[in-house]
Amino acid sequence: MAKKLTRTGNSLALILDRRLLAATGIDATTPLAVSTDGDVIVVSPVRSAKRTEHLRKVMRRAHERYAGTFKRLAE
């Protein structure tokens, strides 16, 4: 999906259509985190610390259980 920026005062805005917002669960009240690696801009909903820690635990367990499989898949 290609988008163009829209001038808003002295700034530029990116307009996100309803379908994209619905697919990501973002609405007008969702706090967003914006980051970049210098080339790509990433916009994502801010997740709670509890949710982030839960995800880390799940990933750690998966790595402990399937590390050998992940390594073979990467080769």
For 5-43, what is each residue's pLDDT tens digit?
A: 999 999 999 999 999 999 998 999 999 999 999 999 999
Q: Which fold has domain 5-74?
A: Pemi-like Protein 1; Chain: D (2.10.260)
Shortest CA distance to 14 belongs to which of 37, 46, 41, 38?
A: 41
Q: Does residue 32 contact residue 41 with C-beta atoms inside 8 Å? A: no
Burial status of residue 35 (CB atoms within 10 A of its CB: 0-12, 13-18, 19 or more) = exposed
Instruction: Please give the backbone phi and psi of residue 7, each rounded to the nearest 5 degrees, phi first.
Output: -70, 130
Instruction: Please give the model's pTM, rounded to 2 decimal places.
Output: 0.54
